[in-house]
Structure 1
Amino acid sequence: MPSKPAPIKKAAGKEPAKKQEAAPEPAPEAAPEPAPAEAAPEAAPAEAEAAPAEAAPAEGEAPAAPPAEEPKPPTPPPADAAAPATEETPATAEAPADAAAPEETPAAPAEAPADAAAAPAAEEAAAVSEAPADAEAAEAAPEEPKPPTPPPPPPKEPTSAPLDLFVEDKNDTSVSIIWSQPEIVGHSGLDGYTIEVCKDGTEDWKAVNEELQKSCRYVIKNQTTGDRLKIRVVAVNAGGRSPPVALPEAVLVKEVADRPKVRLPRFLRQRYVANVGAKINLTIPFTGKPKPVVTWTKNGQPLDTKRVNIRSSDRDSILFIRTAEREDSGVYEMCVKVEDFDDKASLILQIVELPGPPASVKIVDTWGFNVALEWTPPTDNGNTEITGYTIQKADKKTGDWFTVLEHYHRLNATISDLIMGNTYKFKVFSENKCGISEDATIAKEEAKILKTGIEYKPPEYKEHDFSEPPKFTTNLTDRATTVGYSTKLLCSVRGSPKPKVQWMKNQMIIGDDPKYRQICVQGICSLEIRRPGNFDGGVYSCKAKNDHGEATVSCKLEVKQPAVPDAEKK
């Protein structure tokens, strides 16, 4: 049979002793008829050597040999028959003889005669009948110790599943994932990772990396915005693929949302006031990712785009009004939204202008030199509170208006210090943070300050007597001059009536001498001596005289000679 050759070859190493015991097995040469068939074992020692599996059962077959056959002297075994028997001998002994016959037949012709062709058939018949006994004898035969076998190499096993897979970041076209190394790597090591994705709702897993990924981070690129992807990671080594680790939920390919936040400037956190006709340009920054959706409302209603323009970018939104009107006042609310998150901020815009005049002004009472006024607030306050009032009066005779009170906060006032006998008109202006109203409200009534019945008698005064005798308030002082150099004498005098002044030299009246010039203006008296000579020195006096008396002052004038150089003296 074709399945037995290998065990037969392994059993070729049996001991020679067993071969010799198997020698009596074949029939003796003296047999008349079966001689050709029985001669095969004698003439073919190689066959016995090549098939020890068949010869081995002969240990148990010796008593079962046919009685007609005579024992044949043992044939010396060939050299290769001395090899020790292997452990597979008992197994091969159970095989039928006809399984080994085809392999032994080629070796037999080398030593057997031509008529030995029938030997295999005879051996096959004998081996079949003796196989059970040989198997028992083979099991009972002692075995030699086998050499130690080397331990088998450890089996190659895949790693455990990677750990801690989660999304690190994502945007409109890519998803970044990270994970941790498997807990159990094994002797085979770790070659890398395979990242696989499939759309949500399908099981069509596809690898996105052509080569094994060495690091524990990977960016899945070139995805379609809005797709939902299932993602898993598999560790790969020589033992194959590990169990996959997958994200618990499908990932939406969309930019990661950053909560929106409105950064309202500090000056807009309070009421923003502007005048009518002003240009409004307010910039409100915000943050958010992806670009937030910006919406505006006014008093809870959508904006009138004809009046208010909104321009929004990735970072801020601008509210623009070209020409502000009072109708633009209100509460403006800005809302920024990213996905399910939003943030709102409100600002109060107040457009103001000059107020109107007070609604009414009236004169309540008039007494003595006083008038009491009352008025009511204006119907139009200019869209802001009234900060005060200004009151003016006018005399009916002149018609000129004068301010008597300003920045006045009450709605009534008393005007005093009016002139008796005059008639007055009054008007009131309103005032707010923009200024004073252009018009004023004039009281319809007029206030007349009546004369009382008391007659005025001015007091009698005695006329003051200003008569006074002359008196010099500044005296003459002594002077010194040089011949040829003019000089002047001065003094001052008072008196009522105006005193008459007279100059004298050495008690002699000077009179109208052209050498002297006399002046008396506003009580200042002066005497100029023109180019005095050696004889003009002396005592000069000034006498003042009126009806009430007279007074005199004097001084000494010294006239010196000019200094002459020594050279001229010689």
Structure 2
Amino acid sequence: VPGPVKNLQVVDTADGEVSLAWEEPESDGGSKVIGYVVERRDVKRKTWTLATDHIDSPEYTVTGLQRDSMYLFRVCARNRVGSGPNVDTDKPVQAKNKFDVPEAPLNVIVGNVTKFGCTVSWEPPESDGGSPITSYIVELRDRTSVKWSPVQVTKADELSAIINDVIENKEYIFRVKAENKAGVGKPSAASQPVKIMDPIERPSPPLNLSWQDQNKNSVQLTWETPLRNGGSMITGYIIERCEDGSDKWLRCNARLCPDLFYKVSGLKYGTKYNYRAFAENAAGVSDPSNLLGPLLADDLH
């Protein structure tokens, strides 16, 4: 029979798998080695279990192992006469990756939002689990759903992704996972919900604020629509007045004015006032219009 195999080693471990390698025996016993027998044993048990008896190369990956169990292995060479002596591995090994999955990526931010999509960016996790990160997986869910779906996979050196597989005016939440040789890690914290739409800004100021019909306690103001509505409909206008020489501005209209004119009343006869107007949309209030005044509250206008 053949002599013992040489240099039996565990060369790699993975979840449920252990890879072995060895060298041919110095002596084939006068008959060519035709194969090897590989056996395994859970250290909690006394019996050996056959892994293979027909492998013909000096390496083999034993599969179907329990990830949390410790194993010993033994190998013998076989020729036509029979099997040689067994050679055992020197210490038990666990059938799991030598490293862990990465921790969760950090600081997921959604930006550059338009009606066509958005950009999701993030920072690497604090730990890669002992093995280099191979990719990142970007996931999304509709705000009204609980189901997360992968939407894009990036390379390890790409810390952002342009997301176009979304529907205009829907709200989405995003998160990111890191992957290494051990597998996919835990997800990042979820982003804030983002509505897929063109960005809106505050409108530009109303134009050409002017007056008509001044009397001792009221004045009619008029203006024109702003040059830009900021991508959102103008919801109304705010008018303010200030006594000349003061910096204390008072709002004249309690509710937004929907028109391009407004009658300011409650003026004090013989007092000079300055006026200004603002436009408002869903994003906020514009800068003030041109300053109008000072106008004297009397009947001479």
TM-score class, shorter-chain normalisation, is: 0.3 to 0.5
Larger radius of gyration: 1
Q: TM-score, normalised by structure 2?
A: 0.45
Name the one with the larger strand percent: 2
- Higher RCO (CA < 8 A, seq sep 6+): 2
Q: TM-score, normalised by structure 1?
A: 0.26
Name the one with the larger helix percent: 1
